[in-house]
Amino acid sequence: MRFIFLLLFLLTFPILYCDLAPPSNHVTNFTATVDASYNIDLEWVHNDGVLEAEGYYIVARKSFPPTNSDAPAYNNYYEDHLQITINSGNVTVVQAKEPATRTTYEWTGQSNGTYYFDIYPYRTEDEEISYKIDESVPSASAVIDNPLPVILSTFTVSFNMSLPIINWTTQSEQNNQGWNVYRSISDELSSSIQINEPFLIPGAGTTTTPTDYSFNDTYTVEENTTYWYWLESVSFSGFSKIHGPVYLTIPSSEPGHNNPATPIQYGLLQNFPNPFNPNTEIRFRLKEDSRINLLIFDVKGKKVKTILQNQFILKDNIVRAVWNGTDQYNRQVASGVYFACLVNGSEIITRRMLMIK
């Protein structure tokens, strides 16, 4: 009788059970795209599993495609385990602790090349994450091909007034945030020091017109020693490029060494720094005693300010005047191109200056 009753019960009510098998891949639609600033944007769709992942472990390789052996299926995905398993070989960790609720990540400041990405879930608890990996790890790739931020036309160093002076000119610039200057006593960049610390020399951003720059090396130099200089252009996206080197041998001050005389520069010299914000120094030297005017004009030819008016200047003396970026009413002027104009009788000399805020 009991057997008959049990049989009738089983036929009447279905058997209840729990399917603990993991669903399909924990991540789908995993993509990598390069945005207008040459950053890589990663996106994915998060799929719920039996146990929630606390976050994602994203791994990047440059010019090195992922392999299926990097993550075994149905393993215990602990955070420390992942670091040992996949952080090996040509692998760079992008982010070890992405919240599981987040489905985007922006990777910035990378150089040109092809990048491959894998994505894994992780938990810090001693529990297995029931996610199915199938035959391969969810992967994506992207190619960064950023054009050079600047086109450099001239790069020179000269010795004047006891200082090495570095000058350079760009024909055009794209997304250029600024410059670093490096110096060494050898032609090896690895042995150089940065001499413009702690501030980046402002760049021109994006422009298709030539821009002149000048930088004075105020570090100590020794006679009869050769110094090498490099420029580093840095974009707003974090990309950088090294230019150079150029070199200069510091002449001896002792008589009888037949050192080539440093040519004296007359007229209106390039302002420093350039670009600038908000102050810049304007320098000039005259061949004869004279009265001069030093004026500032904007790109439309409108006079912005008079720096020196009917000023008597002795010959051969270097004159320094500072413009603080204000007009004749002491109002701060806008960013842009301005011209320093030295009027000496019938002779007029101009220099292009760039203010950046």
Q: What is the pLDDT of residues 126-163, one digit of tens each?
A: 443 433 444 456 778 887 776 666 888 888 898 887 78
pLDDT value of residue 40: 82
Question: Cβ contacts of residue 31 below 8 Å, gap of 6+?
Answer: 42, 43, 44, 140
Q: Which residue has the tokens 């990996």?
A: 133
- CB contact at 8 A, 154 and 169: yes
Domains of the chain: 17-144 (2.60.40.10), 150-249 (2.60.40.10), 267-355 (2.60.40.4070)
Q: Is the dihedral of CA 187, 190, 191, 194 positive or negative?
A: positive
Tokens of 255: 């008589």
Q: CA–CA separation, 23 vs 128, rounded Å?
A: 14
Average pLDDT over residues 54-81: 47
Query: How much is the average pLDDT of 275-296?
Result: 89
Residue 212: which of 173, 158, 174, 247 has the closest Cα? 173
User: How many CB atoms neighbour CB 147 within 10 A?
Assistant: 10
**Peptide bond preceding 273 in cis form (omega within 30 of 0):** yes
- Using left for φ > 0, alpha for ψ between -120 and 50, and beta otherwise, residue 356 falls in beta
Binned at pLDDT 50, 70 and 90, residue 291 comes out as very high
Q: In this structure, what token pair is assigned to residue 148?
A: 């050079």
pLDDT of residue 338: 92
Provide the sign of the torsion angle of the four alpha carbons 194, 200, 205, 210, taken in this order: negative
Beta carbons within 10 angstroms of residue 338's beta carbon = 24
Above 50 in pLDDT, residue 76? no
**Interatomic CA distance for residues 235 and 179, integer angstroms:** 9
CB 122 within 8 A of CB 78: yes
Contact 350, 339 (CB under 8 A): yes
